[in-house]
C-alpha cells in the first residue's frame, strides 16, 4: 500500500494527535489544524507534518492547510457540529475523496452517510467492547459451572 | 447465558447510560451512580434499574449502591483518577469479581492490569478504526488501478 497521501486532521486532542503521529510515521504528508496551539504538544517529536493554528470553520484556515490538495480529511474535534461542517466543506467545496468524522451523537450518522462521509462513534464502539467483555466473562463462568 | 446479574455502573454520561440501558434491557439488575442528577435523563424510559445520586468516591455512596452484592462494576466517568479509585475500591474492599474501567490515558492500563481490572480505552479503539478505514480505502484504490 502506498503511504504518500496528503492527509488533513482537524483537531489535535487525544484522538487527532494519535492519528497524526501514526499516519505521519507511516510516511504520509500530514497537516493538523487546531485553534488551541497548546494541543500541538500532543504531537510526538518525530511528527514530520505541518501544524496550522486556527479555527477550521474559517475558510482561510482550510485554504492555509491546502485542502484542495488533500486525499483524506479526518474531523476529530469534540464538537459534532464542527466536525459535520468541516466534513461537509471538505466533500462539497474541496472535493476531497475520502472524508471521515468522529461523531458523538449516533443519530447523526445518517446525515453523514447521505453526504458521503464515513463516521466513527467512539462511544458506541467502546460500549460494544464493554458489553462484549461483560458477556464473555459471564459465559466463562457458566462453562466453569458445568 | 444468564442475565440476572447485579451490575453497578459509575457515571451516567453517554457511555454509562448506553451501557445501563442495554444491560437493564438484557434482564440484569442495574444501579447507576452519578453526582449530577441531570445525567439520569440519558436513561431510557424502559430502564428498570436504580439511580444513586452521589459522588462515587465516597464510601457511603458505594454502600448505598450495595456494592457488596455486585457481580460486575463498570467505571465510566470522564476522570481517569475517579475510575481508577472506584475500580480499586470495588476490587479490594468489596471483592467484586469483574471490574471494568474506561481509561483515557493508555499508559495507565498497566496499573489497572496489575490490580485485576479490565480496561477499555475509547480513544485507542476509535483511532484503530479510523486508521483501518483510511488503509482500507487506500487498498481499494490501488486494486482499482491494477
- B87 and A CB contact within 8 Å: no
A73 near A90, Cβ under 8 Å?
yes
Listed in sequence order, the DSSP H helices in B57-101 are 59-64, 80-92
Q: In this structure, are residues B87 and B99 in contact, taking their beta carbons and an 8 Å threshold? A: yes
Quick one: cell of B138?
A: 487506500
Residue range B18-77, pLDDT digits in tens = 999 999 999 999 999 999 999 999 999 999 999 999 999 999 999 999 999 999 999 999
Q: Which CATH number fits domain A6-145: 3.20.190.10, 3.40.190.10, 3.30.70.270, 3.40.50.720?
A: 3.40.50.720
Q: Where are the domains of chain B?
A: 6-145
- Residue whose C-alpha cell reads 450495595 in the numeric block: B66
Distance in angstroms between the alpha carbons of the first and the last residue of chain B = 48
For B77-103, letters b (16+ CB in 10 Å) and e give beebebbbebbbbbbeebebebbbbbb
Task: Mark yes or no for CB contact B137/A19 under 8 Å.
Answer: no
Query: Hey, are the CB atoms on B138 and A1 less than 8 Å from each other?
Result: yes
Nearest-Cα distance to chain A for B102, in Å, is: 8
- The pTM assigned to this predicted structure is 0.81
Count the neighbouring beta carbons within 10 Å of the beta carbon of residue A8. Answer: 30
Residue A1 predicted with pLDDT over 70: no
Amino acid at each position: 500500500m502506498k503511504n504518500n497521501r496528503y492527509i488533513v486532521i482537524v483537531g489535535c486532542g487525544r484522538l487527532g494527535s494519535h492519528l497524526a503521529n501514526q499516519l505521519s510515521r507511516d510516511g504520509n504528508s500530514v497537516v493538523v489544524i487546531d485553534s488551541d496551539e497548546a494541543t500541538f504538544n500532543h504531537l510526538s517529536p518525530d511528527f514530520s507534518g505541518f501544524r496550522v493554528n486556527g479555527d477550521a470553520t474559517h475558510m482561510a484556515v482550510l485554504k492555509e492547510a491546502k485542502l484542495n490538495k488533500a486525499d483524506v480529511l479526518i474531523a476529530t474535534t469534540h464538537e459534532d457540529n464542527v466536525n459535520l461542517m468541516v466534513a461537509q466543506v471538505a466533500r462539497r467545496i474541496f472535493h476531497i475523496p475520502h472524508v471521515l468524522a468522529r461523531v458523538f451523537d449516533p443519530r447523526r450518522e445518517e446525515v453523514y452517510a447521505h453526504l458521503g462521509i464515513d463516521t466513527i462513534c467512539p462511544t458506541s464502539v467502546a460500549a460494544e467492547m464493554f458489553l462484549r467483555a461483560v458477556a464473555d466473562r459471564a459465559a466463562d463462568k457458566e462453562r466453569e459451572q458445568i
